[in-house]
Amino acid sequence: MHFSNPIGLAAGFDKNGKAIKSLANFGFGFIEVGTVTPKAQLGNAKPRLFRLNEDEAIINRFGFNNAGAEAMLQNVVRNKNCLLGINIGKNKDSANDASDYIYLLNKFSQHCSYITINISSPNTANLRELQQIDQLSIFLTAIKDCYQKIDKKPPIFLKVAPDLTIDQQQLIANLVLQHNWISALIVSNTTIDRNNKLINKQQTQSGGLSGKPLFALSTAVLANFYRFGQGQIKLIGVGGISNGEQAYQKIIHGASLLQLYSALIYNGFGLVERIKAELSQILQQQGFTNIAEAIGIAIK
């Protein structure tokens, strides 16, 4: 895959693919829509979104609210004019987790640039259990069997949580290396951890925390996956990026690509071009002619 620049829009902003055409005008190198589930669902009860302004953070517990696969497909077919990823997940009442992902893989494989398998949202009950190595091994084998039968095989990304233990990170990295049909890991989703000296009184709300406080944790986990994968696993760095220096830190700790969401809420869409300009300047100052030269250089 070839990207015009490394800054992508993370899933969750455009859950139903309604704004793809407009979003493509803000300078992103790629756009990821979803999370989409096979059937439409309302998500968790409101209130379910909290801005922690003093912390430049957000807590959400949406629960994969979306209009369903058919509505997403119609929007994607109408607006497919950029490098587009589709983030897929399970319905909360699904009896068979893998069957939901297999359905969506078949549904969208012809209509996107890549597909992200989301097993790391903290807001759907038991979803993160799929990251347990025994369950993940069975799950990925089922997905692989489906993937091998698809005529047009889009690259597959796997999105993981920042709350994995070191042992879990090591085991997942080993498993991904075995499943070489997985093209990349997205590191990471939101965190349920609250050990980040938050100020805003909404800090006690349940759900996934994103934004500035997630940067250090998500970058540490990113570096671990780069190290455990011995640089062989392509990584997309997500979590707390709001300037060019933070984008650079993600890259030197192993990221080939980056994604934003929460920082856009506090800085607006002009942030995309600002980060690109700042990142270009930093790379030049450090003596790099392109991003590829800087990937993982901070990992020893």
Q: What is the mean pLDDT of residues 269-284?
A: 98
Query: Among 1-5, 191-195, 234-238, which range has the highest average pLDDT?
Result: 234-238
Which CATH number do you get for residue 231? Answer: 3.20.20.70
Please report whether residue 275 resides in a domain: yes
Q: Tell me, yes or no, whether 1 lies in a domain.
A: no
Write out pLDDT tens, residues 61-70.
999 999 999 9
Catalytic residue chosen out of the listed positions 121, 188, 256, 262: 121
Low-confidence winner among 5-9, 81-85, 118-122 (lowest mean pLDDT): 81-85
- Say how many CA atoms lie within 13 Å of 97 toward its Cβ: 19
Whether residue 206 lies in the annotated active site: no
In-domain check, residue 43: yes
- pLDDT bracket for residue 119 (50, 70, 90): very high
Half-sphere exposure of 247 (CA within 13 A, CB side): 26
Percentage of the chain lying above the pLDDT 90 cut = 94
Q: 87 with 189: CB under 8 angstroms?
A: no
Identify the band that residue 96 occupies on the pLDDT scale cut at 50, 70 and 90.
confident
Is 52 contained in some domain? Answer: yes
In terms of C-beta density within 10 A (0-12 exposed, 13-18 middle, 19 or more buried), how is residue 143 classed?
buried
Q: Does residue 298 sit within a domain?
A: no
2 within a domain of the structure (yes/no): no
How many domains does the chain contain in total? 1
User: What domain range includes position 36?
Assistant: 7-293
Evaluate whether residue 172 is within a structural domain.
yes
Residue 157 has pLDDT above 70, yes or no: yes
pLDDT of residue 80: 66
| 27 within domain boundaries | yes
Confidence band of 82 (pLDDT split at 50, 70, 90) = confident
Task: Work out the pLDDT band at 21, boundaries 50, 70, 90.
Answer: very high
